[in-house]
Homo-oligomer: A and B are copies of this chain.
Amino acid sequence: MKIGQATIKDIARELNVSSSTVSRALKDYPGISDETKRKVKELAEKLNYRPNAIALSLRKSRSYTIGVIIPEVVHFFFSTVISGIEEVAYSRGYNVILTQTNEKLAREKSSIETMLSNQIDGFLVSYSKETEDFEHFSKLLDQGFPIVFFDRVPAIPNAINVMVDDYKGAFDAVTHLIHQGYERIAHLAGPKSLMISKERERGYRDALANHGMEINPEYIIECPVGTDDESQRITKDLFQNLEQKPDAFFANNDMAAVGAMLACKAMGLRIPEDVGIVGFSNWQFCSMIDPSLSSVAQPGFNMGAKATEILLDIIEKKIEASEIELPVTLDTELLVRKSSVRLKS
């Protein structure tokens, strides 16, 4: 036995047959005698033969590998998405190549190049915060290269976008706060540059309007960074500066919600009695903090799974990219916990 992996040739030589015979025998092609098949398979087993996927890729111009480009792995939401991607890809026999952009456009571009060099069959992309021009994507789309965007999706022609219904998630959350009797609901908003932030704010506004409540611009504060520290500071400022103190917060994300909660507690306010809070994303810690944090759950795993299914269907030509109903929108779910419930039901 030679060094390294056994190949079809090795088997062929040892059995005094041609490599085509071995190839066919291994795949149970018709027209190979049972005797030969048996011998080939036996030896393959013995030599621990393993097909060389690289050679196959070269031959078929297909790598059975998809590339995933995300801003950051260390982000609960994205890690759930990856998990969904990985599940579906694995079950359908695909590999997943992963790169994170760290929110850098340059890295996004270079990762794309590398992956294309590696003959990946398609992309799953959530683009970086720096990305404002989508030329590098639309060029590929125009060539018919399979790409599915998720969460952070571009407004360009032919893009297949998988996203959650941020508007409805926000609308539901604020409606819930209203039903709980909160009357001065503030919104800790996200960066205006992302569509998801705008959609959540729109949901907030519409929920208020829908109940005949006034929209107070002072109650809408942008939290560009999105950390709990930031929103703690912002919340404190808000209570100091405003005549009419808010009695509830709907936050663009859970970190911001936690910041608001900590700030309120520090000011001696009780949650949910004095102040109600709802976050967005349903990070793991929501159920672990005290009081537990109500939040709008985003189906990260499903989003990853769904995006991957669509991508693989396109790659395998089970569906035409053009016949997908766009955009693909997944439902959020409002998880009501203690931080926002003050009425007995």
Contact = CB atoms under 8 A, between A and B. Distances in A.
B100 A98 contact: no
Given A50-B113, A79-B74, A285 B289 contact: yes
Contacts of A36: none
Contact of A52 (B72, B82, B95, B119): B119
Given A97-B97, A288-B289, A289-B288, A119 B54 contact: yes
A269 interface: no
Interface in A43-81: 50-55, 57-58, 61, 63, 65, 72-76, 79-80
Interface residues of A, number: 51
A245 to B, nearest CB: 21
A95 B96 contact: no
Interface string A85-115: 0100010000111111000000100010111
Contact of A285 (B75, B96, B288): B288
A98 B79 contact: no
Contacts of A52: 58, 117, 119
Contacts of A75: 79
A99 B68 CA distance: 13
Contact of A97 (B55, B83, B96): B96
7 contacts: A52-B117, A73-B82, A86-B98, A86-B99, A96-B99, A285-B289, A290-B290
Given A52-B58, A54-B119, A65-B118, 8 more contacts: A53-B114, A53-B118, A54-B57, A54-B58, A74-B80, A90-B99, A97-B97, A288-B289
